[in-house]
Every structure is written in C-alpha cells, then in structure tokens.
Structure 1
Amino acid sequence: MKNSNPSPRIISTWKHGVPANKIAWERLKKGEGGLTAVEYGVRDSEDNPDERSVGYGGLPDREGKVTLDACIMDKNNDCGAVSFLQNIKNPISVARMVMEKTPHVMLSGKGAYDFAIKNGFKSMNLLTEKSKKDWENWLKKSEYKPVINIENHDTISMLLLDEENNLFGACTTSGAAWKMHGRVGDSPIIGAGLFLDNEVGAAASTGLGEAVIRTAGSAM
C-alpha cells in the first residue's frame, strides 16, 4: 500500500469499515494526522453495540466476559497494543497510550486495565443484553468450533496512506465468540494482526487468529 502519486488512501475490513473510513477521513482532512485518523476510525466500531465483534457489545467468551484486543502502529514502526482487556470500551486508544507513554509494546489483562484507569479511561460493563442473551443460548449447547467464515470475521483493521506517503494502521476486536477465558488472537500482535514498513507497505489481517499467528500473516 504505497502510492507513487500520493493522495490519501484509507482501507478497512467489513461493512462497518465504511463509516469508520469516513470518520478517519474527516480527522485526516482536519489535519489531525494519520495516527489519530486510524484511531478514531476504528473507535467508531468499538463504540457501536450493533457491531458484535468489536468493543462495546462484542460477543463474550465462554464465561460471559467481553475481552478486547487492539494494536496501533505508525510510520516510524512505533507501536502499542493491549490484550485481554476488560471493562474499557476503547482498547485502541489505550493501545496508543501504551505506545506513547510507556517503554513497552503491549500490556495485558489487569495491567492494561489498571493503566487505562490511571490514564483517565472509565470502567464500564461491555456486555449488552443482546450479547448476554446470545451467550446464554450458546451455554445450552456449549459447542465451540472455530471456523473461517468468509462472510464475517471478528475484527476491524484499518490502513491509511497520507499525502506524504506515510503509513498508519490500527486493529481492534472482541475476539472469537465463546473463546476460552484468557484467549488472545492475532489482532494485538504486531506482525500477525497488523504490520507496516513505511518503505514497503502495510498489511492487516482478519479471520481465524490462531492461523494468522502461526504464519505471521501480516508480516509475510
């Protein structure tokens, strides 16, 4: 994703990527920069309870807990990520803060939650009544068969090329529905869920996270 005649380009996954792209474009045209554009673009999906694979309203794990993963990366290969984050609606913004305010790339679980709270994020219940009912129905059978569904995958990924030919990317998800508690997929892993090289291009993944991790799907 590079352009010899630079003008901004934004791409993302799935139908909910269309309004997300619009948000990102508006941020970019206001001069807020590519990183802010991709962050707020995917936040649009995180905030939408009708998107059942991202953020608030995402389908829970088999214990009824909504756990979120996200990562963000900029033109300089600076990156940040969170995994197994609970009760924080916008993991992509926490991931950016990990990148900008810590010496680390990823924080996970309670550590990521505590970091978010200390930096002004609000704790909230992410399990909507609709997702709770779906989980309760699943409990009656308790079957888990992860399969690749070409119609929908559990994430939104966004890539942006700005007017100066610089690349930015973001990826956020609530992960596979009914996963084991503690499972982390490819989305927060640099080189799996997302990777970019400002001299070469950028890639992001969506699908069965375990398969993507095994192949370093975005780095390949």
Structure 2
Amino acid sequence: MKRRNFIKNASLTGVGVAVGSSIIACAENKKEKNTVATTNSKASLPLVIATWNVPNATAKAWDVLQNNGSVLDAVEQGVMVEEADEKNQSVGKGGRPDRDGNVTLDACIMNKEGDCGAVVYMQNITHAITVARKVMEDTPHVMLAGKGAEQFAVESGMKRENLLTDASKKEWEDWLVEKEYKPIINIENHDTIGMLAIDKNGDISGACTTSGLAYKMAGRVGDSPIIGSGLFVDNEVGGAVATGLGEEVVKTVGSFLVVELMRQGKSPQEACEEAIGRIVTKPNSNYKNFQVGYIAVNKQGETGSYSIHEWFSMTKYQDGKNENYQSDFYLKDKE
C-alpha cells in the first residue's frame, strides 16, 4: 500500500473508531449543546477550555484555579482526569493500542514562560502529561521518547502498569481478524484532549495528551506532543490546541499558526477558521475524509473553536458555568 493511502486510511481509523456511541447519539447530543463558543469582548477570568465534551476535566482545572493553584497545575490536573478514565479509549489508561497491541502515549505541556516538555511513544505509564511536565522542569530537554521516557518516569517515582484494558484488547483482537480500515468521522465522543487555562492574572498554560490513532503503525507519533502543532502558548498573545488527524496538523504547524494569526490581530475564532482554511485549500487536500479541529483563547479571554466537519465541540468553564459548545465547521456551507 502506498504511503499516502496508508496514512489516509490508517489515520482515519483513529479518528473514526467508535467508543460506544453512534451517529444517532451524536445527533442527540447536538440538540443538547450550546452553539459556537466565541466571545468578542473582554471576558471574565479565570477560564478553562478543552477539546470535546470533557466536563470532569474542565471542572478539575477550574477547582485548582479556585483554590489558588497555578494555571500550569490546572491544565495538568485537568487532563489527568481523562488519562485515568478507562472509558476514554483515546487517552491514557485504556487507550486503543497500535497494531501490535501496545498502548503508546504522547503528551506535551507548556507554561506561561514559554517552557515546554513532551513525551512520545511512551508505554506503561498512565499520566503522560505528568511525565511531560517533569521533562520540562527536571531535565535540560524538551522531549523524551519511548523506553527513555518510560525509564525517566519510573526514576521520577511513577509506577509501571498495564495500560491495555480488557475492552480495548477485545476491540483490537476483533480488528485483527480482518485488519480493515472502515473509518467514520466523528462518531466518538472525544479523542485527544487539549486544554488551555487562564488564571485571574491573565497568565496562560496548556496541555495536550493522547494515545494516538487506533491500530497505528508501531512508532507512529502525531501532532499532540509536538510543540507548535498540537499545542502552543504565548503568554503575550494566547494559546491554541488541536485535535483530529495529526498528520495534517503537523503539515501546517497548526497551533503555532493560530497563535501567530492572533498576534496579527485576528480574534481566536478568526484564527481557528483561517488555520482550518490552510488545510482544506492545500492542493490535493482530502479534507472531506478526515477531521481537524482547533480551540483557542487570547490574552483578553476571548475564545474560538472551529473544525472541518460537524460534531466537534469545546467545553468551557467560566463564571461558574461548565458548558459544552458545538463548534462551527467548514463544511456547513459546502455540502
């Protein structure tokens, strides 16, 4: 199989594998959601936003901020909720494995000073985001990979554990029978979780964590742990995180692009929309067959979210309200 076709088909599997929901359920969820979460004036602080419908994660981050925790603590502890949730089969423990049956994790974190840390292709450690933070704070490096990342985590006091749950193992074994890729976009509730938070002083931090594409090639790394692709924060401007088909986000250095567009004066919503535009207008783009979504926040606390296809959403905790918003999307007026 040619590389281009393999990446397209294999990547779509990770975006499209169901986690117990259905198209009907997704449609019903839409009815319960608010409309696009954008703001056009100075917002009240603090606030937390995250990709997909993850109210427990945003609630944890909000609680940290309300108890005078740092904004970096908030995003770390927020996404840890999803890493520990075995029912979320695309993050942390219980994540879907690669084609060899190994659950491999990617994560990155970035603070208000612009420091960052990441781990890629790490196994046997649930909280990849915590290891990424330790890389940032306790080593001279930005990124550790594979066995090196795992060894560093253990030396830092974290325990090894089997991340392949019975549910994910059973699905993988079923997949092995045919090894066919039959992707359906966005029937899952959520995949990669990316989170951005601003404290009451206007300082920003971000985190991103994932188990990557289901049944990917061993060694595959997407955008999530790549600073500038899956996550980027500039405390003078704002922050952005991405979700969806990582190969396409990497090609456009998407999160960095969103922040740079905000630096040029665009609102978070405008920046997210233009970043999606950079993907769909590329020559030979196959965008109708994959999903990418961005969320962003600027220094003033304005937010934005946008995706290629319908069903992407953003959870936002602000003014004591923890709400999920359906994002606007590129194909709304194109189909």
User: Which TM-score band (shorter chain)?
Assistant: over 0.9
Bigger Rg, which one: 2
The answer (yes or no) to whether the contact 1:147–1:208 under 8 Å persists in 2 is: no
1:161 is the counterpart of 2:233:
no
Comparing 141-150 and 125-134, the one that deviates more: 141-150
Query: Aligned with 2:236: secondary structure?
Result: coil
- Cα 1:152–1:206, aligned 2, differ >3 Å: closer, same or farther? farther
- Cα 1:186–1:101, aligned 2, differ >3 Å: closer, same or farther? same
Deviation at 1:76, TM superposition (A): 0.7
AA of the residue aligned to 1:217: G
1:78-123, Cα deviation, whole Å (9 max, x unpaired): 0000000000000000000000001111000010000001000000
The answer (yes or no) to whether the contact 1:144–1:179 under 8 Å persists in 2 is: no
- Cα 1:107–1:138, aligned 2, differ >3 Å: closer, same or farther? same
Q: Which residue of 2 aligns with 1:113?
A: 150
Q: Which residue of 2 aligns with 1:139?
A: 176
The answer (yes or no) to whether the contact 1:2–1:200 under 8 Å persists in 2 is: no
1:71 is the counterpart of 2:105:
no
- Cα 1:150–1:3, aligned 2, differ >3 Å: closer, same or farther? farther
The answer (yes or no) to whether the contact 1:42–1:157 under 8 Å persists in 2 is: yes
Deviation at 1:151, TM superposition (A): 5.0
1:190-212, Cα deviation, whole Å (9 max, x unpaired): 00000011111110000000000
Q: Which residue of 2 aligns with 1:10?
A: 48
Q: Which residue of 2 aligns with 1:177?
A: 214
Distance 2:197 2:131 in 1: 20
1:24-57, Cα deviation, whole Å (9 max, x unpaired): 1111111121001100000000000000110000
Any unmatched runs of 5+ in structure 2? 1-38, 258-335
AA of the residue aligned to 2:52: W
1:160-202, Cα deviation, whole Å (9 max, x unpaired): 0111111110000000000001100100000000001111111
Distance 1:96 1:146 in 2: 33
Query: Aligned with 1:12: secondary structure?
Result: strand
Distance 1:3 1:65 in 2: 46
1:210 is the counterpart of 2:254:
no
- Cα 1:147–1:115, aligned 2, differ >3 Å: closer, same or farther? farther
Any unmatched runs of 5+ in structure 1? none
1:98 is the counterpart of 2:135:
yes
1:219 to 256, 262, 279: 256
Distance 1:53 1:96 in 2: 20
CA RMSD of aligned residues (A): 1.7
Q: TM-score, normalised by structure 1?
A: 0.95
1:131-180, Cα deviation, whole Å (9 max, x unpaired): 00000000011124667537555300000011111111000000000000
The answer (yes or no) to whether the contact 1:6–1:162 under 8 Å persists in 2 is: no
Q: Which structure is higher in helix share?
A: 2
Q: Which residue of 2 aligns with 1:62?
A: 99
* Identical columns (%): 58
Query: Aligned with 1:27: secondary structure?
Result: helix
Query: Aligned with 1:124: secondary structure?
Result: coil
Distance 1:50 1:144 in 2: 22
Runs of 4+ in 1 over 4 A off after TM superposition: 1-6, 145-148, 150-153
The answer (yes or no) to whether the contact 1:6–1:164 under 8 Å persists in 2 is: no
Q: TM-score, normalised by structure 2?
A: 0.63
Distance 1:115 1:211 in 2: 30
